A and B are shown apart, each in its own frame.
Chain A
Amino acid sequence: MVLDARDMIQPAAAASEKNIQEVLAQGAAGVSLRSVTKKYGSFTAVENLLLDIPAGSYCCLLGPSGCGKTTTLRMIAGHESITSGDIYIGDRRVNALPPAKRNTAMMFQNYALFPHKTVWQNVEFGLRMRRVPTAERRVRVGEILELVGLSQTSDRKPDQLSGGQQQRIALARALVTRPQVLMLDEPLSALDENLRVRMRSELRNIQKQFGLTFIQVTHHVEEAFSLSDQIVVMDHGHIDQVATPSDLFAKPASKFVAKFIGDNNIFAGTVLNAVPDSDGLDMIELAVAGLGSIFSRGQATSVGQTAACSVRPDLLTIVSTAADAPSPQANHLTARVVDVELTGYVTRVGLLTEATGQELLYKVRTADWADAGISEGQAVTLRWSAHDCVFLAD
């Protein structure tokens, strides 16, 4: 059996719950990485990380595998030493402290529940290791199990629980020691798609409810977008961008981010001209080989530099070439529809530019695509505004 996410946030009418909720919320601490570097021999896993995670926020470290996100998490938790730099939790420097002394807790991929211990013993473990007296242990384990709605399973072994219940036990086990920061290492990757979406909102609810600091590692873009207050995009041991989900979506800061967070269309070229726009940004004209000028906005680099610009696939408009008419949108090019993929509400349309053969993607509401009456193989004109096109310096 799996409880609905709503069951979790219903107050269980216990006075103690308020109590523990307050205790957890008060304890939340921010995390700060100052020039943190980790080297394995000659291999640099992460280099010169600068990052501030505010107390009480949900932060996702996002990136492809091998980008250093798990190493970063493990360094904050204390399971990995740092080569240089400082890590602060709250205002404590924790560089040399062992994991248990950092007031953090970690939730592991596949949860790492102890298979030979009952649910109760699993949750109790952290308190026992900290030599908390028996009577207090009983109270605290009881209240946290009630909080996650699994009091009735306390005598069972983890393998007798469903995936969702296991996640909640893992969460209870992590929260019972009242950590200042909770770290989550790809906690949802073991679940199937449906459960993943439900557990995602459950995690988010718990984080909001307690005002805890959550730091989660994920390679799943959608997961990061749906959970985070702050997303840290990492690549090759560096932080590429730190931003809120909406900022990240609207204004990717680098070619890598633009590619990684979605199917953005990217054009590379050289800066031809830059004019300050009304709002402090520059309107930049990029000369793209074979495609002519493409206009985008951002902080210009000097003329003649190589650079790129990116436009989201949902911000393009498509018109059949025959009905070509003047348009206020600055950018346009002709392309041929080569692939139409209906994925549900959204239809993904693959195109090749006529001039250079570059692959482009256009995403459109399925209903609108049907109205457009465009078929595969047809040549069309794509248009988009310079305001939707983000300039990416190299």
Chain B
Amino acid sequence: MSKTWTVFKPYLLAAPQAIALAVFLVFPIVLIGVVSFWEFNGYSMTPAFTLDNYIGIFTSQVTLKTYLNTFKFVGLVWLATLLIAYPVAFFLSFHIKKLKWQVLLFLICTIPFWTSNIIRMISWVPLLGKAGLVNQLLMGVGLINQPLEFLLYSDFAVVLGMVHLYIIFMIAPIFNSLMRIDRTLITAAEDMGASGFDVFKEIILPLSAPGIAIGSIFVVTLVMGEFVTVRLMGGGQAASIGKLIQTQIGSLQYPLAAANAIILLTVTLVVVFSILRVVNIRKEL
């Protein structure tokens, strides 16, 4: 009895989590995978095994363009969040000396994230719209005569919105990894003749790479599947695969949506694994 118990105990302990993952993650993904091969004729779908959905995606110019557009968003948002988040995290961890202030200022960074995403997106509208505050200001001081059109319902607006939404996911892991850097390493490097730039390049940047990697994984995976921001901030002008999938589901084209979802998932996983190959994040966890 006791021996069987010893053997099975770890499995039993792991079971609830394993079951939850199987039911809520593995099963739906498998189901999406299955549905992506089903036949679809515009009115009904029938279980089958056809590659038509995938072939359709890869031969459609519009769909491929949408993919490219999605990758463009991912690239731009990733770059913008990294360029903004790194200096913020650097400032918090190296220029603020007292831990109390570091924590407090970091919490201030998170305050915008206490509001729902949709509300935060909608609140951009009066700011960026044609008769919005930004345009009024620019016209008021005489910098422009015509309201700027690209501010809202454009790719610019989509990227702006997503940077706003996801920046904290970049700040937090980078801040965390910068905080873990032993400050005597910096003194030691200076003792050996390293300049400020050397210290950054040789010590701080490599040691914060795991933080950058984790932040990048968050941002990339979130932006890959984005559709709310694309719809609210892009109006009808911007497209992404997430939005395409949502439209397809709306028009009951489930097999097509499923095939897109599988492709998107694959691409995302490839990106994530490439990041993990370059940077060893295990030390950070």
Contacts and interface: CB of A to CB of B under 8 A. Distances in A.
A351 to B, nearest CB: 45
A77 interface: yes
Nearest to A176: B192
Contacts of B188: 106, 108, 112, 114
Interface in B174-212: 182, 184-185, 187-195, 198, 202-203, 206-207
Contact of B192 (A79, A109, A110, A125): A125
Nearest to B186: A112
B203 A109 contact: no
Given A125-B202, A129-B198, A114 B193 contact: no
Interface string A96-126: 0011100011101110101110000000011
Mostly helix, strand, loop or mixed at chain B's interface?
helix
Given A114-B203, A115-B207, A125 B189 contact: yes
Contacts of A353: none
Contact of A112 (B182, B195, B198): B182
Given A100-B190, A125-B192, A130-B193, A108 B198 contact: no
Nearest to A115: B207
B191 A100 contact: yes
Central interface residue in B187, B193, B206, by most chain A CB within 10 Å: B193
A50 B187 CA distance: 26
A299 B187 CA distance: 45
Contacts of B195: 129
Give the interface residue-count category, chain A: 20 to 34
A177 interface: yes
A129 B194 contact: yes
Contacts of B191: 77-79, 99-100, 104-106
Interface in A251-286: none
B185 A129 contact: no
A98 B195 CA distance: 10
Contacts of B193: 99-100, 126, 129-130, 177
A91 B191 CA distance: 21
Contact of B206 (A98, A106, A116, A173): A116
A115 B193 CA distance: 18
Contacts of A126: 192-193
A122 to B, nearest CB: 10
B192 A105 contact: yes
B187 A108 contact: yes
Nearest to A74: B187
Nearest to A108: B184
B242 to A, nearest CB: 37
Contacts of B206: 116
Nearest to A77: B191
A123 to B, nearest CB: 10
Contacts of A100: 190-194
Chain A contact residues: over half helix, strand or loop, or mixed? loop
Given A77-B191, A105-B191, A114 B185 contact: yes
Nearest to B280: A116
Contacts of B207: 115-116
Nearest to A131: B193
A173 B188 CA distance: 10
Contacts of A106: 187-188, 191
Interface in A27-86: 77-79
Contacts of A104: 191
A112 B184 CA distance: 6
Contacts of B198: 129
Contacts of A130: 192-193
Contacts of A114: 185, 188-189, 202-203
Contacts of B203: 114
Contact of A110 (B184, B189, B190, B194): B184
A112 B190 contact: no
Nearest to A159: B283
B103 to A, nearest CB: 24
Residue in A77, A78, A109, A116 with the greatest tally of chain B CB atoms within 10 Å: A116
A327 B260 CA distance: 104
A271 B71 CA distance: 89
A110 B188 CA distance: 11
Contacts of B182: 110, 112
A116 B192 CA distance: 17
A112 B187 contact: yes
B183 to A, nearest CB: 9
A78 B106 CA distance: 33
A108 B182 CA distance: 12
27 contacts: A77-B191, A79-B191, A98-B190, A100-B190, A100-B191, A100-B192, A100-B194, A104-B191, A105-B191, A106-B187, A106-B188, A108-B184, A109-B184, A110-B184, A112-B182, A112-B185, A114-B185, A114-B188, A114-B189, A114-B202, A115-B185, A116-B206, A125-B189, A125-B194, A129-B195, A129-B198, A130-B193
Interface of B: 182, 184-185, 187-195, 198, 202-203, 206-207
Interface of A: 77-79, 98-100, 104-106, 108-110, 112, 114-116, 125-126, 129-130, 173, 177
Given A112-B184, A125-B202, 5 more contacts: A77-B191, A79-B191, A99-B193, A100-B190, A112-B182
Which 7 residue pairs across A and B have the least CB separation, nearest first? Answer: A100-B193, A126-B192, A129-B193, A112-B188, A112-B184, A99-B191, A129-B194
